[in-house]
């Protein structure tokens, strides 16, 4: 018997992956969590039935949500990750020697617990063993409301703007993030697919521009995400992601990256015409 | 009743698209040809059961197989397209005012005939009406063997290296292309997915480097192709795709492009680390 998981990215199109077995299936107070083993992509985490990450292609997402901001900020000591309970983002953050403290604020403790159990290659830095990592099982909004002027970089590693993450795509949230950042702080947030989610992008970037002086979109290719083309918002108080990029520091990084590199950093901001048009200012 | 087409990109992973109806289904002497109407991607052409193009995302592939070479070559007068019977590549070629003659050499007349009938938005320049377009229903290898030192740019718009296109990924073929190009000619060929086809890429780029002094890979995102990340080989006798790029001419183009632009041209050559590693020289 062959079992296939199909995710519809629209009512009429999707991806389909062969499943070897289910490792965990359960419901937290926030969402449905499933961890399965696929034939092609290794282990895969689903929240409310949607692919969050797979072992085979997670390196793209996690390289790209972390390294651009951390190679633009000249001294990223205090980094906060909101969401990202699988641990992949924190894993990349702590590779940067400048980081003194990496805080994970994830609303759903079950995601952290089961990632540590079933996705150790992602969760290796959130299993309690890493000296630079602090873990808060808490609502991201509440946490940043209480921690003003505290972070050099905030990474919003959220699910789609439905369910528990809906508030993370609104102007009120970006104002809280702005307040929680130091005076030269940078926020990066995943910002959906330019190919499928033009309307979400339009609203999100408009809200970001009302809060931050520098807002740019960059792209990455993630095969298991809708359309394969994904994007991130770089919102910053002072540093521009291209003009203030420390190419030398990125080129001399002491860790290996399978997606990110110092040239790709620049190329990621060179967007297809249709993607630029999604977020054009009115 | 809902009907879905599923293409397996590997034995264990694929995409799935809802189908409204079949417009044409038939067999030529070379391959099976199907043209269907999808709910999400408009009309779609399949050869031997694999997606060749859809109306919704073909702009990416056709922008990217054409415009980089045509904005690098300073005076692309004579352009040959091998394969590309749907007409999308020729359509983009004739947008360049420098082009005096665009020749299409497609082995399978049925593909051209049915594209003109069912995919007019792609085939608009190969329906016999365009004064700069010449059509040859012929084997690409035979054609370039007979036409030496003739072309400024040759675009190899082939299917995957199985079936009728297998010879288009081998050194003998690249030598024929080299011979059919003028002394400053450029070849671009689709070069599969860096994510799924590392081995094909390795062999292809090695063969290309034995024939051309300048060989670079560039990328584009195509949602209906395996993994969503696609690539093209830029092989050239004289002009480098980045150093000799005429950014000014590209920025001042008189036609609209939904994917390509003068910044993206440069960004497309800034590859993910894993893609660079696929084609590293030994």
Burial of A49 (0-12, 13-18, 19+ CB in 10 A): exposed
Question: What CATH number does residue B40 fall under?
Answer: 2.30.140.10
Q: Does residue B209 share a domain with residue B228?
A: yes
Indicate yes or no: CB of B264 within 8 angstroms of CB of A257. no
Q: Does residue A174 share a domain with residue A40?
A: no
Q: Does residue B191 share a domain with residue B178?
A: yes
Chain A CB contacts of B273 under 8 Å are 257-261, 264
Chain A CB contacts of B276 under 8 Å are 261
Q: Does residue B43 share a domain with residue B105?
A: no
Burial of B11 (0-12, 13-18, 19+ CB in 10 A): exposed
Contact B237, B153 (CB under 8 A): no
Contact A134, A128 (CB under 8 A): no
- Top residue of B3, B5, B11, B12 to mutate, by most chain A CBs within 10 Å, is B12
Q: Does residue A157 share a domain with residue A36?
A: no
Binning pLDDT at 50, 70 and 90, where does residue B158 land?
A: confident
So what's the pLDDT on residue B281? 82
Q: Does residue B149 share a domain with residue B272?
A: yes
Alpha-carbon distance of B212 to A93, in angstroms, equals: 42
> H-type helices in chain B, by residue range?
58-72, 88-93, 109-118, 120-123, 140-146, 171-180, 198-209, 247-251, 262-268, 273-278
In three-state secondary structure terms, A253 is: coil
Look at B168 and A151; give whichever has higher pLDDT.
A151
Question: What CATH number does residue A119 fall under?
Answer: 3.40.50.150
Alpha-carbon distance of A254 to A248, in angstroms, equals: 12
Chain A CB contacts of B222 under 8 Å are 228
Alpha-carbon distance of B135 to B5, in angstroms, equals: 32
Q: Is B86 a residue whose pLDDT tops 90?
A: yes
Contact A125, A101 (CB under 8 A): no
Q: Binding residue per annotation — B2?
A: no
Q: Binding residue per annotation — B139?
A: yes
Contact B189, B201 (CB under 8 A): no
What's the whole-number mean pLDDT along residues B216-243?
Answer: 98
Q: Does residue B68 share a domain with residue B172?
A: yes
Q: Does residue B88 share a domain with residue B47?
A: no
Give tens-digit pLDDT for B115-138. Answer: 999 999 999 999 999 999 999 999
What's the whole-number mean pLDDT along residues B52-81?
Answer: 98
- Cα angle vertex B69, ends B188, A272, to 5°? 100
Indicate yes or no: CB of B14 within 8 angstroms of CB of A16. yes
Q: What are the structure tokens assigned to B161, written together? A: 């290296």
Give tens-digit pLDDT for B10-24. Answer: 999 999 999 999 999
CA distances from A247 to A251, A262, A271, B264 (A): 6, 6, 19, 19
Alpha-carbon distance of B227 to B9, in angstroms, equals: 8
Q: Write the residue in A221, A264, A276 that is nearest to B229 by C-beta.
A: A221
ipTM rounded to 2 decimals:
0.95
Listed in sequence order, the residues at least 6 apart from A84 whose beta carbon sits closer than 8 Å to its beta carbon are A90, A104, A106, A155, A157
Chain A CB contacts of B263 under 8 Å are 270-271
Contact A72, A242 (CB under 8 A): no
Indicate yes or no: CB of A273 within 8 angstroms of CB of B266. no
Average per-residue pLDDT in chain B? 96
Q: Write the residue in A15, A57, A267 that is nearest to B267 by C-beta.
A: A267
**Residue B73 φ then ψ, to 5°:** -65, 130
Alpha-carbon distance of A199 to A179, in angstroms, equals: 26
Closest residue, chain A, to B219 (C-alpha): A221
Residue B28 distance to chain A (closest CA, Å): 29
What's the whole-number mean pLDDT along residues A33-48?
Answer: 97
What's the whole-number mean pLDDT along residues A36-41?
Answer: 98
Q: Is B9 a residue whose pLDDT tops 70?
A: yes
Q: Does residue B50 share a domain with residue B149?
A: no
Alpha-carbon distance of A102 to A134, in angstroms, equals: 6
Domain residues for the domain of B179 are 58-278
What's the whole-number mean pLDDT along residues B217-241?
Answer: 97
Q: Write the residue in A6, A39, A228 that is nearest to B228 by C-beta.
A: A228
Chain A CB contacts of B194 under 8 Å are none
Residue positions forming the annotated binding site of A for S-methyl-5'-thioadenosine? 31, 106, 139-140, 164
Q: What are the structure tokens assigned to A197, written together? A: 């989610």
Q: Does residue A10 share a domain with residue A144?
A: no
Q: Does residue A19 share a domain with residue A67?
A: no
So what's the pLDDT on residue A282? 67
Half-sphere exposure of B134 (CA within 13 A, CB side): 11
Chain B CB contacts of A60 under 8 Å are 272
Q: Is A161 a residue whose pLDDT tops 80?
A: no
Residue B255 distance to chain A (closest CA, Å): 13
Q: Is B208 a residue whose pLDDT tops 80?
A: yes
How many angstroms separate the most distant Cα atoms in chain B?
Answer: 58
Interface A-B, measured as beta-carbon pairs within 8 A, has a size of: 126
- Top residue of B21, B267, B275, B280 to mutate, by most chain A CBs within 10 Å, is B267
Residue positions forming the annotated binding site of A? 31, 62, 86, 106, 139-140, 157-160, 164
Q: Write the residue in A38, A57, A264 that is nearest to B12 by C-beta.
A: A38
DSSP B65: H
Residue by residue, DSSP assigns B161-183 as SSGGGGGGGSHHHHHHHHHHEEE
Question: How many domains are contained in chain A?
Answer: 2
Q: Does residue A64 share a domain with residue A43?
A: no
Q: Does residue A149 have an active-site annotation?
A: no
């Amino acid at each position: 018997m062959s079992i296939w998981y199909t995710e519809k990215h629209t009512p009429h199109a999707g991806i389909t992956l062969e499943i070897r077995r289910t490792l965990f299936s359960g419901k937290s107070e926030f969402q449905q969590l499933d961890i399965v083993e696929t034939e092609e992509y290794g282990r895969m985490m689903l929240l409310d039935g949607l692919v969050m990450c797979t072992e085979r292609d997670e390196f793209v997402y996690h390289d790209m949500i972390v390294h651009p901001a951390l190679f633009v900020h000249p001294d990223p000591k205090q980094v906060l990750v909101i969401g990202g309970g699988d641990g992949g983002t924190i894993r990349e953050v702590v590779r940067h020697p400048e980081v003194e403290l990496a805080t994970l604020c994830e609303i759903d403790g079950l995601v952290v617990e089961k990632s540590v159990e079933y996705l150790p290659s992602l969760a290796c830095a959130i299993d309690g063993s890493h000296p630079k990592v602090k873990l808060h099982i808490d609502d991201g909004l509440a946490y940043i409301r209480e921690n003003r002027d505290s972070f050099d970089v905030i990474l919003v590693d959220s699910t789609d703007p439905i369910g528990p993450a809906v508030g993370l795509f609104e102007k009120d949230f970006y104002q809280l993030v702005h307040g929680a950042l130091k005076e030269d702080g940078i926020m990066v947030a995943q910002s959906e697919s330019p190919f499928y989610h033009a309307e979400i992008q339009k609203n999100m970037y408009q809200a970001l521009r009302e809060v931050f002086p520098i807002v740019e979109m960059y792209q990455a290719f993630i095969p298991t995400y809708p359309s394969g083309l994904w994007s991130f918002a770089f919102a910053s108080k002072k540093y521009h992601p291209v003009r203030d990029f420390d190419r030398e520091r990125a080129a001399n990084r002491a860790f290996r990256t399978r997606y990110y590199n110092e040239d790709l950093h620049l190329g990621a901001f060179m967007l297809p015409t249709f993607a630029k048009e999604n977020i054009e200012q009115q």
